[in-house]
Amino acid sequence: MVLETGGVGFKFLASHQTIKALPAVGHDAFVYSRLYVRDDSLELYGFATAEEMEFFEMLISVSGVGPKSAIAILGVSDMSSLAAAIKEGRPDLLTRVSGVGRKTAERIIVELKSKVKAEHATKVVEGMDSDSDVVEMLVGLGYRKEQVVNVLRALPETVTSVEMKVKQALKILGNKSSNG
């Protein structure tokens, strides 16, 4: 993203969640920023919330996790799911990020497990597991993974069982395919 202030444009790297949270082009925006200094460059990273920036700083404190990997990790899921995965010792969410292997994910968990705040972590991880099962089932029926994930995000929080998630998702996916 590029933010203009005082006639000067600043290029920021940001997670998908931050970019989605920004208003339309031309409207005022507030972004928390972090300047990352390296021998050969200066890089700006932007965040929609102070919490996201703090999570980023925790991630880059882990050996082997650079700022671009940290931004990619923040973009893979919402922060509560990431925190819950770390708190519960579940590397599978972290390894979805390109360039983050099992060893790096486990290092993140070991180093950040006591630092992250994750209320109801067990419940969040159980929800992630059921979502994973639903995605697997619906992809097996021929739906695209991205499509299924987007539909699951749109389901009300009251829909918790795998069976109900599949039924609701099939209704939505059926309507989308019949509409176009």
List pLDDT tens digits, range 3-54: 888 889 889 999 888 888 888 888 888 899 999 898 888 899 999 999 999 9
- Once rounded to an integer, what is the mean pLDDT over residues 152-179? 75
Per-residue pLDDT of 133-153, as tens digits, reads: 777 788 888 888 777 777 777
- Report the CATH fold assignment for 121-179: Helicase, Ruva Protein; domain 3 (1.10.8)
Q: What percent of the chain is predicted at pLDDT more than 70?
A: 88
Contact 73, 82 (CB under 8 A): yes
Answering whether pTM is above 0.75, one says no
CATH 1.10.150.20 maps onto the chain at 2-112
- Report the CATH fold assignment for 2-112: DNA polymerase; domain 1 (1.10.150)
**Average pLDDT score, the chain:** 82
